[in-house]
DNA sequence: TTTATATATTAACATTTGTTAATGTAAATA
DNA sequence: TATTTACATTAACAAATGTTAATATATAAA
């Protein structure tokens, strides 16, 4: 039995609204209307519109960093690490697709100093991925290629996945998705 | 010797501003300030802020559709077609990286009926790509895989490329980029 | 020289938007 | 029962924003 259902509903519906219309396009009045109460009511739950975005973004961002760090701490090979990264990325995205969508599309709307904090974290994350790939090439598990482009390609192969878990269509099985994405990243489309 | 340099400068700088800050975040006063004149001046060049976005978006969108259609009309094999799509996509992106960035990030800010017109076109484009991939699998040029996921993966491998041609860093050679991306898409990262 | 075009300004407008103050009520807790 | 907590309202604000009207000037074309 959940408590404070109204507060939870607020955060849930606001998140979806921001995903649907974009952060800048959503007004406090939009949110209020969706929840069927007056705009002033929102400030019982959150200090400002910006704070709302920050909350969503840093919450999911932390989870990704944390999960990545745990994988990196392990003694798995670079290839196994990448597979784990793919796996946990898809699991997390399947569980929190709307926050993931904000992470991809709305971080630009952060204001300083939060914007810098976020983009620095983003760089750190990407560099960690790049290091795994670099090591994998070095050790001969991956073929020789441009490391930066490989990093971008790898990350972009994961970035669109939230799209499969937002909306009302039947959701794809995360494990099947993981297999398909893994195959694409490691063996490509060719035979 | 170019004519109407001021008008050209307006469209150029507005485009870059929208790319940097996002369409919603850019105000007419921002644009005016960048061009060192008064806001009212903008309306000598364009009817409205929305019209500006529409202009950029449908211009580049048309080029992509046109280029794709020309490739599809050819008698090349699915694999060769995909390679051509990659190639022309990168060439176009290298030539118009800022418009490409808007195409990826700002189309949501279109208003009806332009929004529907755009998203319909997007669907058409993606379906054409899917059909090429489906045919390639059917003919045994590509390995057996989920067609929809392959389509998303293929497209997402191309979607980030504008990032390499905006900004002031040294631009990567498009032909080298094409090789790297092609290799990633067709053979993956593994050996 | 006259005319048309491109480019510019000032001033103001109607809306929209995030936010606050003051206050009330129903439900949960002590 | 008394009191705190959660949830709600009305009314208004200051600032920001897209846009327009009226008008001026420099330049290029006729």
Q: In this structure, what CATH number is given to the domain that contains residue B12?
A: 1.10.10.60
| Residues by Cβ under 7 A, strand C | A 26-29, 39-40, 42-43, 47-50; B 4-7, 35, 37-41, 44-45
A114 and A42 part of one domain: no
Contacts B102 to A, Cβ<8 Å:
none
pTM above 0.85, yes or no: yes
What distance in Å separates the CA atoms of residue A34 and residue A100, rounded to the nearest whole number? 22
pLDDT average, residue stretch A26-34: 97
What is the tens place of the pLDDT at every residue in A156-165? 999 999 999 9
Please give the share of chain B, as a percent, with pLDDT higher than 70. 98
What distance in Å separates the CA atoms of residue A93 and residue A100, rounded to the nearest whole number? 6
What distance in Å separates the CA atoms of residue B177 and residue B191, rounded to the nearest whole number? 19
B168 and B78 part of one domain: yes
A36 three-state secondary structure:
coil
B56 and B35 part of one domain: no
A80 and A68 part of one domain: yes
A135 and A97 part of one domain: yes
A143 and A65 part of one domain: yes
A40 and A57 part of one domain: no
A173 and A160 part of one domain: yes
Q: How many domains does chain A have?
A: 2
Residue A1 has pLDDT above 80, yes or no: no
Q: State the residue range of the domain holding B28.
A: 1-46
B37 and B75 part of one domain: no
B25 and B64 part of one domain: no
- In angstroms, the separation between the Cα of residue A70 and the nearest Cα of chain B is 23
Query: Residue B4: what pLDDT?
Result: 59
Chain B residue whose CA is closest to A104 = B105
What distance in Å separates the CA atoms of residue A182 and residue A184, rounded to the nearest whole number? 5
What is the tens place of the pLDDT at every residue in A34-78? 999 999 999 999 999 999 999 999 999 999 999 999 999 999 999
CA geometry: angle at A64 spanning A60 and A70, to 5°? 140
Nucleotides of D under 7 A from a protein CB: 6-12, 16-22
A148 and A180 part of one domain: yes
What distance in Å separates the CA atoms of residue A13 and residue A123, rounded to the nearest whole number? 30
B67 and B100 part of one domain: yes
The pLDDT-based confidence of A191 (bands split at 50, 70, 90) is confident
Ramachandran angles phi, psi of B177, nearest 5°: -60, -45
Q: What is the DSSP letter of A60?
A: H
Q: Is the CB of A4 under 7 A from strand D?
A: yes
Residue B1 has pLDDT above 50, yes or no: no
The pLDDT-based confidence of A2 (bands split at 50, 70, 90) is very low
Asked if A86 and A181 count as a contact pair (C-beta separation under 8 A), the reply is yes
């Amino acid at each position: 039995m959940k408590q404070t259902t109204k507060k939870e509903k607020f955060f849930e519906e606001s998140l979806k609204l921001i995903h649907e219309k974009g952060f800048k396009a959503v007004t406090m009045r939009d949110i209020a209307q969706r929840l069927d109460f007056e705009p002033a009511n929102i400030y019982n739950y959150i200090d400002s519109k910006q704070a709302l975005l920050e909350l969503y973004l840093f919450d999911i961002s932390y989870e990704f960093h944390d999960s990545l760090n745990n994988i990196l701490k392990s003694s798995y090979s670079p290839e196994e690490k990448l597979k784990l990264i793919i796996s946990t990325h898809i699991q997390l995205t399947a569980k929190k697709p709307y926050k993931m969508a904000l992470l991809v599309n709305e971080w630009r709307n952060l204001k300083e100093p939060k914007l810098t904090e976020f983009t620095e974290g983003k760089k750190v994350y990407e560099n960690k991925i790049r290091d795994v790939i670099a090591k994998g090439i070095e050790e001969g598990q991956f073929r020789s290629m441009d490391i930066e482009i490989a990093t971008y390609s790898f990350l972009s192969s994961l970035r669109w996945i939230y799209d499969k878990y937002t909306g009302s269509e039947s959701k794809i099985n995360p494990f099947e998705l993981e297999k398909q994405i893994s195959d694409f990243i490691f063996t490509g489309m060719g035979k």
